[in-house]
Amino acid sequence: EALIALASAIIIARRLIRVAWTTRRWDTRPSHRP
């Protein structure tokens, strides 16, 4: 159960990072996506 919770937390975090990476803009933004 803990492993499932950890895996889902990682998946959600990666999804949030990807969405924020593509929707948020800032001056010193790297050109590539993580």
Residue ranges of domains in the chain: 1-29
Contacts of residue 22, Cβ cutoff 8 Å, sequence gap at least 6: 33
Q: Say if CB 32 and CB 18 are below 8 A apart.
A: no
- Write down the pLDDT at residue 27: 62
CB 33 within 8 Å of CB 23:
no
Per-residue model confidence as pLDDT tens digits over 7-34: 999 999 999 888 877 776 666 666 666 5
Q: Tell me, what's the pLDDT at 22?
A: 72
Q: Would you state the pLDDT for residue 5?
A: 96
| pTM > 0.85 | no
The pLDDT, as a whole number, for residue 30 is 62
Provide the pLDDT for residue 18: 83
